[in-house]
Structure 1
Amino acid sequence: MNFKDKTVVITGGNTGIGRELAIAFGMRKANVVVNFIVNEEAAVETISHIENLGGKAIKIFGDVTKLDDCKNIIDKSIKVFGKVDVLINNSGITRDNLIMRMSEDDFDKVIDVNLKGTWNMCKSVTRHMMKNRSGKIINISSVVGIMGNAGQSNYVASKAGIIGLTKSLAKEFGPRGITVNAVAPGFIETKMTEALPVEVRENYMKQIPLGKFGTPEDIANSCIFLASSRADYITGQVLSINGGMI
């Protein structure tokens, strides 16, 4: 699939799954916008990697919890590349704990980044995509947003909220030719999962019928499909990439 002359904005596009997404679209000739809030060095490295592959990419600082920052991300993307064709809301954080020990601040931070951040970015791109009567929005949810998980009430609530937001916006945006879908990854090989204790990793592995963690490339492949013309008649859906967990 080729995305030549298409502009793809990826929040949290400098590391982990976001970086894999940025490179995957860059390899397919898209104009890639790498949003970041920390670790600018990683954003620079990601852009350099894309450019070495013959693609075009820029980095834009922006805190997705701030609506003005989100508007700036979209406005700068349009100024440089002329339009935004695809928005991937990938930014996310965790602050895990049992609810009796979880602070209000930890709950609020996770909801602000994961759920409100997704809402902020969707709101910021709305007028542009509606004017163009086209666009693809892909929101990164999680398997736990579907099945729940002890010790992650804040994270699960945010990811379940993203699914509800996705379904609602699909109905709002559909008449203007804009699709809105969600991807719900299971356990993916990232620095976060690599840091888990061996016994925890083994316990999670037992829950996966395929017997292995997924890779960031697995998530990138699903987003490439949803962003392509092959998915033009798919909207309001949740694509689960979890090795059969649910």
Structure 2
Amino acid sequence: MSEHVLITGSSGAIGKEIALKMAASGRPLFLHYNASKEKAESLKRECEGLGVEVNLVQSDLSKPEGVSELLKGIHSPVGAVIHNSGKSSYGLFTDLDSKDIQDNIQLHLTSPLELTKSLLPGMIQRRHGHILVISSIWGLTGAACEVMYSTVKGGLNTFVKSLAKEAAPSGVYVNGIAPGAIESPMMSAFSPEEKEALRDEIPMSRLGSPREVADAAEFLLSSKSSYISGQILSVNGAWYC
């Protein structure tokens, strides 16, 4: 049996497209979700329609107990983990309260690190594995009014670069993808005028699609990227390159 791919935040736009890519290639899946049960169940049916085994796992990764709850649902070897859970937070840094800060750190940094720490020994023992982080353009450049989000995504990028060096001798690949402006529910807070202004800033004059991020993920998890590790691949239409 093929090793499973674990995708956190699979019910989101990018997570869904990555799941469908992995299913199409015949990889059995653990699909994590938090609150979007109906979307997760719908995605499970879609992926099963492509002929693969799919297991749903629910947990809230913004809580300290989230990782242990997720791991209770993992019953087979995981050959790849894709850290995709996340949420944007827009506003002045001075308006954040302590709970906002702690929840963001737990969701975007502590939980991915703890989950990786739990799954990495099995990959090292088998001398093969992939860890892929879905980061953000703001983790590379920083953004006003998204200071917290930029900070945690920047931390993930450094995690990728550091762990890649440590894990490479054991045959484990660690990479990240930093999407730019992607047409997804995360953009719903923007007005049509704001979206148009954003498109004008992007050299390709359009927003990206979740499928384009999934294409990058498919590449980084394939044998075509066999000499690539410790990299953050920007998928942003030449915006902030």
Q: What is the TM-score when the length of structure 2 is the normalising length?
A: 0.94
CA shift digits 1:173-232 (9 cap, x unpaired)? 111110100100001111121441122212221221000000010010000011111112
Deviation at 1:66, TM superposition (A): 5.0
Q: CA deviation at 1:11?
A: 0.3
Residue 176 of structure 2 is aligned with which of 163, 182, 189? 182
Moved more, 215-224 or 108-117: 108-117
Contact 1:133–1:177 at 8 Å: present in 2 too? yes
Identity of paired residues, percent? Answer: 31
- Cα deviation, residue 62, structure 1: 2.1
Match of 1:46 in 2: 43
- The question of whether the paired residues in 1 share the 8 Å contact of 2:180 and 2:208 is answered with yes
The offset of 1:101, in angstroms, is: 2.0
Q: Any conservation in 1 of the 2:63–2:106 contact (CA below 8 Å)?
A: no
- Whether 2:211 is the aligned partner of 1:217: answer yes
Aligned 8 A contact 1:137 1:179 in 2:
yes
Task: Name the structure 2 match of 1:204.
Answer: 198
Q: Secondary structure at the match of 1:129?
A: helix
- Written as runs of structure 1 = structure 2, the 5 A alignment for 1:56-205 is 56-65=53-62, 69-71=66-68, 73-74=70-71, 76-77=73-74, 79=75, 82-205=76-199
Q: Which moved more, 1:127-136 or 1:56-65?
A: 56-65
- Once the two structures are TM-superposed, the CA of residue 5 in structure 1 deviates from its matched residue by 2.0
Q: 1:104–1:76: structure 2 CA closer, same or farther, 3 Å change rule?
A: closer
* Secondary structure of the corresponding residue to residue 8 of structure 1: strand
Structure 2 gaps, min length 5: none
Q: CA deviation at 1:75?
A: 5.7
1:117 Cα deviation (Å)?
Answer: 2.0
Q: Distance in 2 between matches of 1:169 and 1:55?
A: 30
Q: Deviations over 1:111-158 (max 9, x none)?
A: 211122221221121111111111000001100111111100100001
Post-superposition offset of 1:51: 1.1
Change over 3 Å in CA distance of 1:142–1:18 after alignment to 2: same
Paired with 2:63 and 2:225, the residues of 1 have a C-alpha distance of: 31
Aligned counterparts of 2:72 and 2:78: Cα–Cα separation in 1? 9
Number of the residue aligned with 2:8: 11
Runs of 4+ residues over 6 Å off in structure 1: none
Which segment drifts farther, 117-126 or 99-108? 99-108
Question: Runs of 5+ in structure 1 lacking a partner?
Answer: none
User: Whole-Å Cα distance in 1 between the matches of residues 63 and 144 of structure 2?
Assistant: 29
- Partner SS state of residue 211, structure 2: helix
Quote how far apart the aligned CAs of 1:64 are: 2.6
